[in-house]
Chains A and B, each alone.
Chain A
Amino acid sequence: MNDILIYAVIFLSIVGAAAAIILYFIAQKFKVIEDPKIDIVEAALPAANCGGCGYPGCRGFSEALVKSSNEKQSIEGLNCPVGGNEVMAKVAEILGLVAEEKEPQIAVIRCSGSKANAPAKIKYDGPATCAFAHNLSSGESGCPYGCLGLGDCVAACDFDAIYMDQETGLPVVKDNCVACGACVVACPRDIIELRNRGKKDRRIFVSCVNEEKGGVARKNCSVACIGCGKCFKVCPFDAITMENNLAYIDYEKCKLCRKCVVECPTGAIHELNFPPRKEKIVTEDGSPEKVKAKASKDNSDNNKEE
């Protein structure tokens, strides 16, 4: 009996040793050699795996960072919007490089076609997502560029930074938005744009993407951009361009002087997080419309922050 036991133990030990040797050689043959820096860089990233950097998850981004650092000795063009300048500085330190300081950005909803401003003329009763609504109809208000209000952007957000305001039917971006870009991609009408947060978190933008002629756009929505160009003429910093009956403010050039906000006849240009105006409202002809227009501009229904 003892003999059998000893033979069994010896036999199994030999099998075990053989297996170990085979496995060792196989492991050596299929070894994946990874730069050890990748693990260290990954540890510095926020681990949100949101894809905002343009790479598949934080691991993918750290691989790209180390590759760029090794091949080009720079990490120019690579940015983690969630971590921001703080994280990029840490990563740069690990790699022995310098990170460019980026302006923090935030998602901006460029449409004010609320239920009040752009009332529905027909009812859409297909499947309730923006992707479908855009594919199957031109929209309930008649404006074929405006927000459909079915919340594909809300569904896309990983950070709980956007919600649908039931009263206006428009999405609202919260302060914790990290500008990852998921909602920008989700919107089938390219209404959402990533723009600089601005000094003191103040920003000015044209809240409309309608490219139809002014009269047509205005018929469907009372706060549409009619492409009149008055903002373009009044901007002292050449920050505004007009294209296809639509004004666009370049956020790099805009100095937040607010002249365009005052000038816009429909209230399409919005200013956010500014203190209320102190100056007396002087209108050329004293008409009440101008006064109302100003009030609505300061109480923008969307893009309010919590």
Chain B
Amino acid sequence: MKTFKIGGVHPPENKLSTDRPIEMMELPAQAIIPLSQSLGAPSKAIVEKGEVVKVGQLIAKGEAFISSNIHSPVSGKVLKIDEALDQSGYRRPAIFINVDGDEWMPEIDRTKDIKKEISASKEEIIKKIQESGIVGLGGATFPSHVKLMVPQGKKAEVLIINGVECEPYLTADHRLMLEHGEEMLIGIQILMKALEVKKAIIGIENNKKDAFEHLQKLAPHFEGISVEPLKVQYPQGGEKQLIDAVYNRQVPSGKLPIEVGAVVHNVGTAFAVYEAVQKNKPLFERVVTITGKNVKHPGNYMVRVGTSINSLIEKAGGLPEDTGKIVSGGPMMGKALNSADVPVVKGTSGVLLFKEDEAKRVEPTNCIRCAKCVTVCPMGLEPVLIAQYAEAEMWENVEAERALDCIECGSCQYTCPAARPLLDYIRLGKFRVGQIIRNRSKK
């Protein structure tokens, strides 16, 4: 069975919510929609205080090249446009809407039947994806239409679909593949048309056998789409690792996947593309996993953007007594939240409640030069050296060690027997080197 060749770790899977079908989450009383929900520049609000909006109505426009539109997830009246605490721990501009009913924009097709025929042209597809505010739902939230605009001189040969969900605990993509597999495959066809490729490969890890079998049964009805089972390994969901695993090509350092002719999209993104192009439904809700060893009812919910994480925790049975951390995302790359009174955004794949003893960090000791971090780094870097240089503030050396290639997967910090904060040092190094490079280009 295929997998990526360099590095990788095997954290315990803990897929506690894997058998829980997707449930609809109740609408919030007030939706707080941050204006910064994708990589790139924040969006500009186009509604005003007092305005009445419907579900799916455009409320913020992405103006820069790398930015995206935001649509209202609820119907009601705009209370204000003000700063709100969001998952970053800082207060940033957001649109507050008091929810009233659930009235949708009339052009959205809410019927349940699956529309198979793709009548839109390649240009219409890309335009529709941009208008619908679709961003990478794997967590990186890169605006999807930008990925589909292949730069001059490069050609896309294959579309790779990420059904890996390598983070422990998270099961949102798994359930989506099981319950909406057909819509997802149509979404993949739409993406293939936009990229003008004849071949698509869906990568699924072997711990999701039911999803694999389900898609393998459906795939023959869709030309060019194949399903590839993969050996379980973290971080297989990283796009460069996935390309190595299913397509056996290595993306050169500092370059993007299009360099080897590949474009990677998450299964959730493919489903959102189906809904946008076939059903006129913009992106305003997504599947979120709420889980944790002490959580009473772990599950997967279809949540509207702007719902507070607090209400998700309540839905899952309330905050357990001995909760140590509330993490947005998975245990390897997720972010510990300052407060649960923050809204779900397009990139929120899961909410994980760690017990106090699980969450506590071990006190670091000295590096024992075992090089386990070097063995597990999926990008072939040397975390021990990058961390040492970052500690000594030798930023040129940090850059020379290709720290900017780091995908921040956390395998090094996870493996280190001395519990050294390797990833934290590397992140600091990346941040400083980024500043230095920006200053260099300014001169």
Which residues of A pack against B, CB within 8 Å? 121-122, 125-127, 131-132, 135-139, 142, 144, 212-213, 216
Contacts and interface: CB of A to CB of B under 8 A. Distances in A.
25 contacts: A121-B338, A121-B339, A122-B338, A122-B339, A125-B360, A126-B361, A126-B424, A131-B428, A132-B421, A135-B427, A135-B428, A135-B431, A136-B424, A136-B427, A137-B89, A137-B336, A138-B88, A138-B90, A138-B338, A139-B89, A142-B338, A144-B90, A212-B91, A213-B83, A216-B83
Interface of B: 83, 88-91, 336, 338-339, 360-361, 364, 421, 424-425, 427-428, 431
A208 to B, nearest CB: 17
A138 B336 CA distance: 11
Contacts of B88: 138
- The DSSP consensus for interface residues of chain A is loop
A216 B90 CA distance: 12
A125 B339 CA distance: 15
A137 B427 CA distance: 13
Contacts of A127: 364, 421, 424-425
B91 A126 contact: no
Given A127-B425, A135-B427, A138-B89, 6 more contacts: A127-B364, A127-B421, A132-B421, A139-B89, A212-B83, A212-B91
Contacts of B421: 126-127, 132
A126 B360 CA distance: 10
A136 B431 CA distance: 11
Contacts of A144: 89-91
A105 to B, nearest CB: 25
Contacts of B338: 121-122, 137-138, 142
Query: Max chain A CB contacts within 10 Å: which of B361, B364, B425, B428?
Result: B428
Contacts of B83: 212-213, 216
Contacts of B425: 127
Nearest to A137: B89
A77 B428 CA distance: 34
A104 B89 CA distance: 39
B424 A132 contact: yes
Contacts of A132: 421, 424, 428
A122 B336 CA distance: 11
Contacts of B336: 137
B130 to A, nearest CB: 32
B361 A216 contact: no
Contacts of A135: 424, 427-428, 431
A56 to B, nearest CB: 15
Contacts of B360: 125
A125 B354 CA distance: 14
B233 to A, nearest CB: 27
